[in-house]
Amino acid sequence: MRTTDLQLSNGRGSGLVDVLDRVLDKGLVVAGDVKISLAEVELLTIRIRLIVCSIDKAQQIGLDWWKHDAHLSPNRLSSENEELRRQVRLLERKVASLSSRKGNRRRDGGHDANRQGD
């Protein structure tokens, strides 16, 4: 490989890095509408709005929806995990209670009140 080839590829790489840096710093908005019609009757409209920018820039312009989205919030997961843990503890207590009752019934005469005619 020649030195000029390396310089060209490095120039392209740094150009791409510069473009990416500028896009993330300033932001890039892509907007468009797609309309599908048949015999002048509009069947479908798709509105596309795409913003590419850094998180810092998004917060500067007021786009911080991920902070308030319940599905992305770490608090939601921790509260959901705590609720699941509570349910597991409750189920464990019920199983333990049923197991101890079953053991007591067998000690009291060997018959289970729920079983009918062996």
Mind listing the pLDDT tens digit for each residue in 42-80?
A: 999 999 988 888 888 888 888 887 777 766 666 666 777
- Sequence-ordered list of residues with C-beta below 8 angstroms from that of 24, at least 6 positions apart, any chain: 52, 53, 54, 57
Report how far residue 35's alpha carbon sits from residue 31's, in angstroms, rounded to the nearest whole number: 14
pLDDT, tens digit, 9 for 90 and up, residues 4-27: 444 445 555 678 888 888 888 888
Residues 50 and 84 occupy one common structural domain: no
Claim to verify: residue 2 and residue 52 sit in the same structural domain: yes
pTM exceeding the 0.85 threshold for the entire prediction: no
Please indicate, yes or no, if residue 117 is contained in any of the structural domains: no
Sign of CA dihedral 72, 76, 80, 82: positive
Closest CA to 51 of 36, 32, 33: 32
Which region, left, alpha or beta, applies to residue 31 given φ > 0 means left and ψ of -120 to 50 means alpha?
beta
Provide the number of structural domains found in the chain.
Answer: 2
Q: What is the pLDDT of residue 1?
A: 44
Q: What is the pLDDT of residue 14?
A: 74
Q: Taking the CA atoms of the chain, what radius of gyration do you get in angstroms?
A: 32
Per-residue pLDDT band at 110 (split at 50, 70, 90) = low
Domain hosting 44: range is 1-66
DSSP for residue 90: H
> Within this chain, do residues 60 and 75 fall inside the same structural domain, yes or no?
no
pLDDT category at 2 given cuts 50, 70, 90 is very low
**pLDDT for res 91:** 95
96 compared with 61, residue with greater pLDDT: 96
pLDDT higher than 90, residue 3? no
Query: So what's the pLDDT on residue 92?
Result: 95
